[in-house]
Amino acid sequence: MTQIETSSTHSSFPLPDVFSSALVSMFNMLQPGIVQVRNGHRGGGTGVIWHQDGRIITNNHVVHGDRPHIQVHLWDGRTLQAELLHRNPELDLAVLKIAGDNLTPLPVGDSSKLRIGEWVFAIGHPWGQRWALTSGIVSSFSSLQITNDVKTRYIKSDVGLAPGNSGGPLLNADGEVIGINAMIFGGDLSVSIPSNIVSDWLSSLPKGRITLGIEIQAVELPAEVRQQVEPTRESGLLVVGTSGRQQHQDLLVGDILLDVAGKPVRDGATLRQILAEGEAGRNVSMRIVRAGSVLSVDIATQIAQDTP
């Protein structure tokens, strides 16, 4: 009996302690690269710091709306305003940009190497609970035809997700981002967008912000202009300066922007979001006021290079 007890004592498995210690270390290392994203009063989600210049990946549905007011909460207590740079509703991805120092991007892994049965982890803010860690295993892979031209692959796992996890990282055991968590599928399986899909989309984007090459200022519309447009319309965007390719040819100082791509623009944030949804170098239609008359024009967008 004594020999059995001794044998049992010496054969205790050290794996749980080793695994737990490694998981704690991984969480502490990765937490600074994961943010909470808030979109006004419309709820929130999670984001991944993708680059030290302040670019953040999240889900498009986290920052939905015509005029999102986006705030990003960092692990060290800072709250920063975020600008929407790009969105892809088909892939459910969006790129945000914050201006801050000491930002820690997460390491990105190769999702093509992921195998069924591998351990995966998620860190996010389910139901508003900040930086919650859950774990699971890769269950399967699936493909979905999004549009006639776009077909993408998804990772399915039993990692625990809930509202607030959207846009956060799916991590492998090495602490690398191998997916962006998107939603809960039928049968309690979680769905994540593979990191390679994210990287391919990012590489196809223009290397900078889409812009019109103008400086603007919100102004109140004169009464005679409101009568031409709509009586309830009170404001537009006055062009106070031009730069880049425009060179005073397409838009003039003194023009007032009313609508861009069919959407009214009343402030700079709305204009930037509309441009972010378009494609650089393509013409965008707009209504403007020039010398008291309402005109329809097509203006070519351009790229404002981001600082490395």
Residues annotated as catalytic are: 61, 92, 166
Give the residue among 28, 37, 23 at the shortest CA–CA distance from 124.
37
Distance (Å, rounded) from C-alpha 116 to C-alpha 137? 7
Question: Concatenated DSSP letters for 204-230?
Answer: HS-SEEEE-SEEEEEEEPPHHHHHHH-
Give the residue among 126, 194, 130, 120 at the shortest CA–CA distance from 159.
120
Question: Is 82:272 a contact under the CB 8 Å cutoff?
Answer: no
What sections of the chain are H helices per DSSP? 2-10, 15-30, 195-204, 223-229, 268-276
Distance (Å, rounded) from C-alpha 168 to C-alpha 56? 10
The one-letter code for the residue type at 90 is E
Residue with tokens 């979109």: 39
Distance (Å, rounded) from C-alpha 98 to C-alpha 105? 13
Output the six-digit token pair for 295: 């005109």
Sign of CA dihedral 149, 151, 152, 158: positive
Output the six-digit token pair for 149: 């031209």
Distance (Å, rounded) from C-alpha 91 to C-alpha 111? 16
Distance (Å, rounded) from C-alpha 226 to C-alpha 255? 15
